[in-house]
Structure 1
Amino acid sequence: MVIHKNIILAKFIHRPNRFQAYVDINGIESMVHVPNTGRCREILIPGCTVILREENSPSRKTKYDLIGGYKGDKFINIDSQIPNKVVEEALKNKKIGILDRYIKIEREKTFGNSRFDFKLTDDNGGECYLEVKGVTLEEDGKAMFPDAPTERGRKHLLELIEVKNSGREAAVLFLIQMDGVKYFSPYDEMDRNFGEALRLSKIKGVHILAYDCFVGENYITIKDKVQIKL
Protein backbone atom coordinates (compact mmCIF):
# COMPACT_ATOMS: atom_id res chain seq x y z
CA MET A 1 0.00 0.00 0.00
CA VAL A 2 1.09 3.55 -0.72
CA ILE A 3 0.77 6.34 1.84
CA HIS A 4 -0.73 9.24 -0.08
CA LYS A 5 -0.59 11.83 2.68
CA ASN A 6 2.35 14.21 3.03
CA ILE A 7 5.47 12.60 4.53
CA ILE A 8 8.31 14.54 6.16
CA LEU A 9 11.54 13.73 8.00
CA ALA A 10 12.34 14.87 11.53
CA LYS A 11 14.76 14.18 14.39
CA PHE A 12 13.44 12.32 17.42
CA ILE A 13 13.87 14.07 20.79
CA HIS A 14 11.94 12.12 23.43
CA ARG A 15 8.69 10.27 24.17
CA PRO A 16 7.05 11.29 27.46
CA ASN A 17 4.26 8.70 27.16
CA ARG A 18 2.95 5.99 24.86
CA PHE A 19 0.98 8.29 22.60
CA GLN A 20 3.12 11.42 22.38
CA ALA A 21 6.62 12.25 21.24
CA TYR A 22 8.61 15.40 20.65
CA VAL A 23 10.57 15.82 17.45
CA ASP A 24 12.70 18.46 15.76
CA ILE A 25 11.17 19.66 12.48
CA ASN A 26 13.58 22.05 10.76
CA GLY A 27 14.84 23.34 14.10
CA ILE A 28 11.40 23.65 15.71
CA GLU A 29 10.40 21.30 18.54
CA SER A 30 6.94 19.86 17.92
CA MET A 31 4.69 17.35 19.65
CA VAL A 32 3.46 14.47 17.47
CA HIS A 33 1.18 11.47 17.95
CA VAL A 34 2.70 7.98 18.19
CA PRO A 35 0.26 5.38 16.75
CA ASN A 36 1.92 2.49 18.58
CA THR A 37 1.56 1.50 22.25
CA GLY A 38 4.69 -0.67 22.18
CA ARG A 39 7.97 0.55 23.63
CA CYS A 40 9.98 0.84 20.37
CA ARG A 41 13.00 1.74 22.52
CA GLU A 42 15.53 0.32 20.08
CA ILE A 43 14.10 2.53 17.31
CA LEU A 44 13.09 5.78 19.00
CA ILE A 45 16.51 6.88 20.18
CA PRO A 46 17.24 10.60 20.68
CA GLY A 47 18.70 12.03 17.49
CA CYS A 48 17.46 9.29 15.17
CA THR A 49 15.65 10.15 11.94
CA VAL A 50 11.90 9.54 12.07
CA ILE A 51 9.15 9.76 9.49
CA LEU A 52 6.01 11.80 10.09
CA ARG A 53 2.69 11.55 8.27
CA GLU A 54 0.70 14.76 8.06
CA GLU A 55 -2.84 14.58 9.45
CA ASN A 56 -5.01 17.66 9.02
CA SER A 57 -8.10 16.75 11.02
CA PRO A 58 -9.36 19.85 12.91
CA SER A 59 -10.20 17.64 15.91
CA ARG A 60 -6.58 16.57 16.43
CA LYS A 61 -4.18 18.06 18.96
CA THR A 62 -1.18 17.22 16.79
CA LYS A 63 -0.51 17.78 13.10
CA TYR A 64 1.62 14.67 12.53
CA ASP A 65 1.74 10.94 13.27
CA LEU A 66 5.17 9.39 13.85
CA ILE A 67 4.93 6.31 11.62
CA GLY A 68 8.50 5.02 11.40
CA GLY A 69 12.13 5.48 12.16
CA TYR A 70 15.61 4.54 11.05
CA LYS A 71 17.58 2.01 13.07
CA GLY A 72 20.97 2.60 11.50
CA ASP A 73 20.23 2.33 7.79
CA LYS A 74 17.17 0.08 8.28
CA PHE A 75 13.78 1.78 8.08
CA ILE A 76 11.09 0.29 10.32
CA ASN A 77 7.41 1.21 10.10
CA ILE A 78 5.85 1.42 13.58
CA ASP A 79 2.27 2.46 12.73
CA SER A 80 0.00 -0.06 14.49
CA GLN A 81 -2.84 0.79 12.08
CA ILE A 82 -0.81 -0.41 9.09
CA PRO A 83 -0.60 -4.24 9.57
CA ASN A 84 -4.31 -4.96 9.06
CA LYS A 85 -4.36 -2.81 5.92
CA VAL A 86 -1.29 -4.55 4.51
CA VAL A 87 -2.67 -8.00 5.31
CA GLU A 88 -6.07 -7.17 3.80
CA GLU A 89 -4.33 -6.08 0.59
CA ALA A 90 -2.28 -9.32 0.61
CA LEU A 91 -5.38 -11.47 1.18
CA LYS A 92 -7.18 -9.85 -1.74
CA ASN A 93 -4.12 -10.36 -3.97
CA LYS A 94 -3.68 -14.00 -2.84
CA LYS A 95 -0.19 -13.34 -1.45
CA ILE A 96 -0.57 -15.52 1.66
CA GLY A 97 -0.34 -19.08 0.39
CA ILE A 98 -2.12 -20.99 3.15
CA LEU A 99 -5.02 -18.50 3.08
CA ASP A 100 -5.37 -18.04 -0.68
CA ARG A 101 -8.47 -20.23 -0.99
CA TYR A 102 -10.64 -17.81 0.96
CA ILE A 103 -12.82 -15.63 -1.25
CA LYS A 104 -14.73 -13.57 1.31
CA ILE A 105 -12.75 -11.24 3.57
CA GLU A 106 -14.47 -9.52 6.49
CA ARG A 107 -12.87 -7.17 9.02
CA GLU A 108 -13.43 -7.08 12.79
CA LYS A 109 -15.75 -10.07 13.13
CA THR A 110 -16.95 -11.73 16.31
CA PHE A 111 -16.74 -15.38 17.32
CA GLY A 112 -18.40 -16.12 20.65
CA ASN A 113 -17.33 -13.33 22.96
CA SER A 114 -14.21 -12.57 20.94
CA ARG A 115 -13.52 -10.19 18.09
CA PHE A 116 -10.83 -11.00 15.55
CA ASP A 117 -9.17 -8.89 12.86
CA PHE A 118 -10.51 -11.01 9.98
CA LYS A 119 -13.09 -13.66 9.23
CA LEU A 120 -12.33 -15.51 6.01
CA THR A 121 -14.78 -17.74 4.12
CA ASP A 122 -14.08 -20.10 1.22
CA ASP A 123 -16.49 -21.06 -1.57
CA ASN A 124 -17.65 -24.12 0.40
CA GLY A 125 -18.56 -22.08 3.46
CA GLY A 126 -15.43 -23.02 5.38
CA GLU A 127 -14.32 -20.34 7.84
CA CYS A 128 -11.03 -19.13 9.23
CA TYR A 129 -10.56 -16.48 11.90
CA LEU A 130 -7.32 -14.53 11.58
CA GLU A 131 -5.57 -12.28 14.10
CA VAL A 132 -2.76 -9.96 12.96
CA LYS A 133 0.13 -8.72 15.10
CA GLY A 134 2.52 -5.99 13.94
CA VAL A 135 6.19 -6.63 14.71
CA THR A 136 8.73 -3.81 15.07
CA LEU A 137 11.37 -5.38 17.34
CA GLU A 138 14.53 -6.75 15.71
CA GLU A 139 17.93 -7.83 17.04
CA ASP A 140 20.68 -9.14 14.76
CA GLY A 141 18.16 -10.28 12.14
CA LYS A 142 15.79 -11.89 14.67
CA ALA A 143 12.29 -10.40 14.71
CA MET A 144 10.41 -10.75 18.00
CA PHE A 145 7.00 -10.09 19.53
CA PRO A 146 5.92 -8.58 21.87
CA ASP A 147 8.15 -5.66 22.82
CA ALA A 148 5.99 -5.05 25.92
CA PRO A 149 3.92 -7.45 28.06
CA THR A 150 0.56 -8.17 26.43
CA GLU A 151 -2.16 -10.02 28.28
CA ARG A 152 -4.50 -9.04 25.46
CA GLY A 153 -2.23 -10.77 22.95
CA ARG A 154 -2.15 -13.96 25.05
CA LYS A 155 -5.94 -13.88 25.30
CA HIS A 156 -6.25 -13.65 21.50
CA LEU A 157 -4.16 -16.81 21.10
CA LEU A 158 -6.25 -18.77 23.60
CA GLU A 159 -9.40 -17.60 21.83
CA LEU A 160 -8.01 -18.80 18.50
CA ILE A 161 -7.61 -22.25 20.06
CA GLU A 162 -11.34 -22.13 20.87
CA VAL A 163 -12.05 -21.30 17.22
CA LYS A 164 -9.99 -24.32 16.15
CA ASN A 165 -11.79 -26.52 18.68
CA SER A 166 -15.11 -25.52 17.05
CA GLY A 167 -14.05 -27.13 13.78
CA ARG A 168 -13.09 -23.90 12.04
CA GLU A 169 -9.63 -22.83 10.95
CA ALA A 170 -7.68 -20.29 12.98
CA ALA A 171 -4.50 -18.36 12.29
CA VAL A 172 -2.27 -15.65 13.70
CA LEU A 173 -0.04 -13.67 11.34
CA PHE A 174 2.95 -11.70 12.58
CA LEU A 175 3.54 -8.89 10.09
CA ILE A 176 7.17 -7.79 10.44
CA GLN A 177 7.17 -4.09 9.51
CA MET A 178 10.63 -4.17 7.92
CA ASP A 179 12.63 -6.39 5.59
CA GLY A 180 15.88 -8.30 5.88
CA VAL A 181 15.09 -10.41 8.95
CA LYS A 182 16.30 -14.01 9.28
CA TYR A 183 13.53 -15.49 11.42
CA PHE A 184 10.77 -14.73 13.92
CA SER A 185 10.43 -15.87 17.55
CA PRO A 186 8.26 -14.96 20.52
CA TYR A 187 10.13 -12.66 22.91
CA ASP A 188 9.99 -14.86 25.98
CA GLU A 189 12.26 -12.57 27.98
CA MET A 190 9.60 -9.86 27.69
CA ASP A 191 6.45 -11.98 28.09
CA ARG A 192 6.87 -15.70 28.83
CA ASN A 193 3.11 -16.23 29.05
CA PHE A 194 2.62 -15.01 25.49
CA GLY A 195 5.35 -17.33 24.21
CA GLU A 196 3.80 -20.30 26.01
CA ALA A 197 0.38 -19.47 24.56
CA LEU A 198 1.87 -19.24 21.07
CA ARG A 199 3.52 -22.65 21.39
CA LEU A 200 0.27 -24.12 22.72
CA SER A 201 -1.61 -22.62 19.78
CA LYS A 202 0.75 -24.38 17.38
CA ILE A 203 0.18 -27.71 19.15
CA LYS A 204 -3.60 -27.21 19.00
CA GLY A 205 -3.56 -26.62 15.23
CA VAL A 206 -3.67 -22.83 14.95
CA HIS A 207 -1.68 -21.68 11.91
CA ILE A 208 1.29 -19.54 12.97
CA LEU A 209 2.48 -17.29 10.12
CA ALA A 210 5.15 -14.62 9.81
CA TYR A 211 5.84 -12.35 6.83
CA ASP A 212 8.22 -9.45 6.35
CA CYS A 213 7.54 -6.40 4.18
CA PHE A 214 8.86 -4.27 1.40
CA VAL A 215 8.90 -0.98 3.31
CA GLY A 216 9.84 2.61 2.55
CA GLU A 217 9.01 6.03 3.90
CA ASN A 218 5.74 6.23 1.95
CA TYR A 219 4.86 2.60 1.20
CA ILE A 220 4.63 -0.86 2.77
CA THR A 221 3.50 -4.16 1.28
CA ILE A 222 3.86 -7.81 2.18
CA LYS A 223 7.03 -9.53 0.99
CA ASP A 224 8.13 -13.05 2.00
CA LYS A 225 7.20 -15.78 4.41
CA VAL A 226 9.67 -15.76 7.31
CA GLN A 227 10.94 -18.79 9.23
CA ILE A 228 9.42 -19.20 12.70
CA LYS A 229 11.35 -20.57 15.67
CA LEU A 230 9.19 -21.35 18.67
Structure 2
Amino acid sequence: MIFNKQIVKARFISRPNRFQAYVNIDGVQLMIHVPNTGRCREILIPGATVILREENNPNRKTKYDLIAAYKGTRLINIDSQIPNRIVDEALKMNKISYFRDCKNVEREKTFGNSRFDFKLLDKDNKEYYLEVKGVTFEENGVARFPDAPTERGRKHLLELVQVKKSNIGAAVLFLIQMEGIKCFKPYDEIDKKFGEYLRYADKEGVKILAYDCFLGENFIILKDEIKVCL
Protein backbone atom coordinates (compact mmCIF):
# COMPACT_ATOMS: atom_id res chain seq x y z
CA MET A 1 0.00 0.00 0.00
CA ILE A 2 1.40 3.34 -1.08
CA PHE A 3 0.18 6.56 0.51
CA ASN A 4 -0.78 8.90 -2.32
CA LYS A 5 -1.25 11.93 -0.10
CA GLN A 6 1.59 14.22 0.92
CA ILE A 7 3.80 12.95 3.73
CA VAL A 8 5.47 15.39 6.15
CA LYS A 9 8.02 14.89 8.94
CA ALA A 10 7.58 16.65 12.26
CA ARG A 11 8.73 16.63 15.90
CA PHE A 12 6.27 15.36 18.47
CA ILE A 13 5.43 17.73 21.34
CA SER A 14 2.50 16.37 23.33
CA ARG A 15 -0.80 14.45 23.22
CA PRO A 16 -3.42 16.14 25.41
CA ASN A 17 -6.06 13.51 24.60
CA ARG A 18 -6.56 10.33 22.58
CA PHE A 19 -7.43 12.07 19.33
CA GLN A 20 -5.24 15.17 19.29
CA ALA A 21 -1.55 15.92 19.49
CA TYR A 22 0.77 18.87 18.98
CA VAL A 23 3.78 18.74 16.69
CA ASN A 24 6.45 21.09 15.42
CA ILE A 25 6.83 21.50 11.67
CA ASP A 26 9.74 23.74 10.69
CA GLY A 27 9.40 25.79 13.87
CA VAL A 28 5.60 26.05 13.71
CA GLN A 29 3.45 24.32 16.35
CA LEU A 30 0.32 22.66 14.98
CA MET A 31 -2.49 20.56 16.40
CA ILE A 32 -2.97 17.32 14.45
CA HIS A 33 -5.29 14.28 14.58
CA VAL A 34 -4.15 10.95 16.05
CA PRO A 35 -5.99 8.05 14.32
CA ASN A 36 -5.27 5.62 17.16
CA THR A 37 -7.00 5.37 20.55
CA GLY A 38 -4.23 3.22 22.06
CA ARG A 39 -1.75 4.66 24.53
CA CYS A 40 1.39 4.52 22.33
CA ARG A 41 3.26 6.01 25.29
CA GLU A 42 6.57 4.40 24.40
CA ILE A 43 6.30 5.76 20.83
CA LEU A 44 4.81 9.24 21.12
CA ILE A 45 7.39 10.88 23.35
CA PRO A 46 8.47 14.55 23.24
CA GLY A 47 11.07 15.11 20.53
CA ALA A 48 10.30 11.94 18.57
CA THR A 49 10.27 12.19 14.79
CA VAL A 50 6.74 11.55 13.56
CA ILE A 51 5.22 11.09 10.11
CA LEU A 52 2.12 13.04 9.14
CA ARG A 53 -0.27 12.50 6.26
CA GLU A 54 -1.85 15.62 4.82
CA GLU A 55 -5.65 15.52 4.66
CA ASN A 56 -7.03 18.19 2.37
CA ASN A 57 -10.53 18.28 3.78
CA PRO A 58 -11.92 21.79 4.42
CA ASN A 59 -14.38 20.38 6.98
CA ARG A 60 -11.63 19.05 9.24
CA LYS A 61 -10.30 20.91 12.26
CA THR A 62 -6.81 19.54 11.64
CA LYS A 63 -4.76 19.44 8.44
CA TYR A 64 -2.72 16.31 9.24
CA ASP A 65 -3.06 12.78 10.58
CA LEU A 66 -0.20 11.36 12.65
CA ILE A 67 0.33 7.97 11.00
CA ALA A 68 3.77 6.79 12.15
CA ALA A 69 6.69 7.54 14.44
CA TYR A 70 10.29 6.56 14.90
CA LYS A 71 11.15 4.67 18.07
CA GLY A 72 14.90 5.02 17.85
CA THR A 73 15.64 3.80 14.31
CA ARG A 74 12.51 1.65 14.12
CA LEU A 75 9.57 3.11 12.19
CA ILE A 76 6.16 2.13 13.59
CA ASN A 77 2.86 2.80 11.86
CA ILE A 78 0.12 3.76 14.34
CA ASP A 79 -2.81 4.47 11.99
CA SER A 80 -5.59 2.18 13.26
CA GLN A 81 -7.35 2.35 9.88
CA ILE A 82 -4.38 0.76 8.10
CA PRO A 83 -4.33 -2.89 9.34
CA ASN A 84 -7.58 -3.99 7.68
CA ARG A 85 -6.53 -2.40 4.41
CA ILE A 86 -3.16 -4.14 4.49
CA VAL A 87 -4.73 -7.52 5.30
CA ASP A 88 -7.37 -7.04 2.59
CA GLU A 89 -4.63 -6.39 0.05
CA ALA A 90 -2.61 -9.38 1.28
CA LEU A 91 -5.58 -11.76 1.22
CA LYS A 92 -6.43 -10.84 -2.36
CA MET A 93 -2.78 -11.38 -3.35
CA ASN A 94 -2.68 -14.79 -1.56
CA LYS A 95 0.15 -13.64 0.72
CA ILE A 96 -1.30 -15.17 3.91
CA SER A 97 -0.53 -18.89 3.75
CA TYR A 98 -3.37 -20.02 6.01
CA PHE A 99 -5.92 -18.46 3.63
CA ARG A 100 -4.11 -19.20 0.39
CA ASP A 101 -6.94 -21.42 -0.89
CA CYS A 102 -9.63 -18.81 -0.23
CA LYS A 103 -11.23 -17.47 -3.38
CA ASN A 104 -13.56 -14.85 -1.97
CA VAL A 105 -12.84 -11.99 0.44
CA GLU A 106 -15.62 -9.87 1.95
CA ARG A 107 -15.27 -7.03 4.45
CA GLU A 108 -17.34 -6.32 7.56
CA LYS A 109 -19.56 -9.40 7.60
CA THR A 110 -21.84 -10.64 10.37
CA PHE A 111 -22.25 -14.04 11.99
CA GLY A 112 -25.22 -14.16 14.32
CA ASN A 113 -25.04 -10.93 16.32
CA SER A 114 -21.31 -10.50 15.74
CA ARG A 115 -19.54 -8.47 13.08
CA PHE A 116 -16.08 -9.50 11.91
CA ASP A 117 -13.51 -7.77 9.74
CA PHE A 118 -13.50 -10.46 7.03
CA LYS A 119 -15.46 -13.40 5.74
CA LEU A 120 -13.70 -15.79 3.37
CA LEU A 121 -14.62 -18.85 1.31
CA ASP A 122 -12.13 -21.55 0.33
CA LYS A 123 -12.21 -23.67 -2.82
CA ASP A 124 -14.66 -26.06 -1.14
CA ASN A 125 -16.93 -23.16 -0.09
CA LYS A 126 -16.03 -23.54 3.57
CA GLU A 127 -16.55 -20.28 5.46
CA TYR A 128 -13.96 -18.53 7.59
CA TYR A 129 -14.35 -15.45 9.77
CA LEU A 130 -11.28 -13.36 10.48
CA GLU A 131 -10.71 -10.54 12.97
CA VAL A 132 -7.66 -8.25 12.61
CA LYS A 133 -5.84 -6.46 15.44
CA GLY A 134 -3.21 -3.81 14.80
CA VAL A 135 -0.12 -4.08 17.02
CA THR A 136 2.15 -1.12 17.80
CA PHE A 137 3.83 -2.12 21.08
CA GLU A 138 7.34 -3.62 20.93
CA GLU A 139 9.97 -4.35 23.56
CA ASN A 140 13.30 -6.08 22.86
CA GLY A 141 12.02 -7.40 19.54
CA VAL A 142 8.83 -8.86 21.04
CA ALA A 143 5.50 -7.43 19.87
CA ARG A 144 2.57 -7.43 22.28
CA PHE A 145 -1.14 -6.66 22.27
CA PRO A 146 -3.01 -4.82 23.68
CA ASP A 147 -1.24 -1.70 24.94
CA ALA A 148 -4.40 -0.72 26.84
CA PRO A 149 -7.25 -2.85 28.32
CA THR A 150 -9.68 -3.81 25.56
CA GLU A 151 -13.13 -5.10 26.41
CA ARG A 152 -13.97 -5.05 22.71
CA GLY A 153 -10.95 -7.24 21.92
CA ARG A 154 -11.94 -9.78 24.58
CA LYS A 155 -15.47 -9.88 23.18
CA HIS A 156 -14.18 -10.58 19.67
CA LEU A 157 -12.18 -13.58 20.90
CA LEU A 158 -15.19 -15.14 22.60
CA GLU A 159 -17.27 -14.52 19.48
CA LEU A 160 -14.66 -16.27 17.34
CA VAL A 161 -14.88 -19.28 19.66
CA GLN A 162 -18.62 -19.41 19.04
CA VAL A 163 -17.97 -19.33 15.30
CA LYS A 164 -15.58 -22.26 15.63
CA LYS A 165 -18.08 -24.22 17.74
CA SER A 166 -20.52 -23.83 14.84
CA ASN A 167 -18.05 -25.80 12.68
CA ILE A 168 -17.00 -22.69 10.77
CA GLY A 169 -13.42 -21.50 10.41
CA ALA A 170 -12.33 -18.73 12.78
CA ALA A 171 -9.07 -16.80 13.06
CA VAL A 172 -7.53 -13.67 14.53
CA LEU A 173 -4.56 -12.00 12.86
CA PHE A 174 -2.30 -9.64 14.79
CA LEU A 175 -0.79 -7.23 12.29
CA ILE A 176 2.46 -5.91 13.75
CA GLN A 177 2.89 -2.47 12.20
CA MET A 178 6.69 -2.60 12.08
CA GLU A 179 9.44 -5.03 11.06
CA GLY A 180 12.30 -6.82 12.79
CA ILE A 181 10.09 -8.70 15.27
CA LYS A 182 11.10 -12.04 16.82
CA CYS A 183 7.72 -13.15 18.19
CA PHE A 184 4.27 -12.01 19.29
CA LYS A 185 2.81 -12.39 22.79
CA PRO A 186 -0.35 -11.21 24.53
CA TYR A 187 0.41 -8.33 26.88
CA ASP A 188 -0.80 -9.99 30.08
CA GLU A 189 0.48 -7.22 32.33
CA ILE A 190 -1.85 -4.75 30.60
CA ASP A 191 -4.91 -6.97 30.07
CA LYS A 192 -4.72 -10.34 31.84
CA LYS A 193 -8.20 -11.38 30.68
CA PHE A 194 -7.32 -10.78 27.03
CA GLY A 195 -4.35 -13.13 27.36
CA GLU A 196 -6.54 -15.74 29.04
CA TYR A 197 -9.20 -15.46 26.34
CA LEU A 198 -6.59 -15.68 23.57
CA ARG A 199 -5.20 -18.93 25.03
CA TYR A 200 -8.75 -20.24 25.44
CA ALA A 201 -9.53 -19.37 21.80
CA ASP A 202 -6.39 -21.20 20.71
CA LYS A 203 -7.40 -24.33 22.64
CA GLU A 204 -10.87 -24.18 21.08
CA GLY A 205 -9.39 -24.22 17.58
CA VAL A 206 -9.39 -20.54 16.64
CA LYS A 207 -6.33 -19.94 14.44
CA ILE A 208 -3.95 -17.36 15.93
CA LEU A 209 -1.79 -15.60 13.33
CA ALA A 210 0.77 -12.80 13.50
CA TYR A 211 2.49 -10.96 10.65
CA ASP A 212 4.88 -8.04 10.60
CA CYS A 213 5.09 -5.30 7.97
CA PHE A 214 7.66 -3.87 5.60
CA LEU A 215 7.21 -0.12 5.71
CA GLY A 216 8.66 3.24 4.84
CA GLU A 217 7.45 6.76 5.37
CA ASN A 218 5.07 6.57 2.40
CA PHE A 219 4.21 2.85 2.14
CA ILE A 220 3.38 -0.24 4.18
CA ILE A 221 2.82 -3.87 3.12
CA LEU A 222 2.45 -7.23 4.83
CA LYS A 223 5.83 -8.97 5.23
CA ASP A 224 6.47 -12.21 7.16
CA GLU A 225 4.55 -14.56 9.42
CA ILE A 226 5.78 -14.15 13.01
CA LYS A 227 5.94 -16.82 15.71
CA VAL A 228 3.09 -16.62 18.22
CA CYS A 229 4.13 -17.39 21.82
CA LEU A 230 1.15 -18.02 24.09
Normalising by structure 2, report the TM-score: 0.99
- Please name the residue that 1:107 is paired with: 107
In 2, Cα distance between equivalents of 1:2 and 1:135 = 20
Match of 1:174 in 2: 174
2:64 maps to 64
Alignment of 1:25-64 (within 5 A): 25-64=25-64
Deviation at 1:121, TM superposition (A): 1.0
Superposition deviation, residue 122 in structure 1: 1.8
Amino acid at match of 2:148: A
Distance 1:58 1:217 in 2: 25
Unaligned runs of 5+ in 2: none
What amino acid is aligned across from residue 20 of structure 2 in structure 1?
Answer: Q
Q: Secondary structure at the match of 1:17?
A: coil
For residues 40 and 5 of structure 1, the distance between their equivalents in structure 2, rounded to whole angstroms, comes to: 24
1:124 is displaced (CA, Å) by: 2.3
Amino acid at match of 1:196: E
Cα distance in 2 between the residues matched to 1:192 and 1:142: 17
TM-score normalised according to structure 1 size:
0.99
Amino acid at match of 1:109: K
For residues 187-211 of structure 1, give each alpha carbon's deviation from its aligned partner in whole angstroms, at most 9, with x where no partner exists: 0000000000000000000000000
Cα distance in 1 for partners of 2:128, 2:139 equals 32
* Structure 1 residue 123 displacement after superposition: 3.0
Matches within 5 A, 1:1-230: 1-230=1-230
C-alpha deviation, 1:29, in angstroms? 0.6
Q: Say how many residue pairs are matched.
A: 230
Question: 2: CA distance between counterparts of 1:130 and 1:59?
Answer: 34
Cα offsets for 1:88-133 (capped at 9, x unmatched): 0100110100111111100000111110000001232210000000
Stretches of 4+ aligned residues off by more than 4 angstroms: none
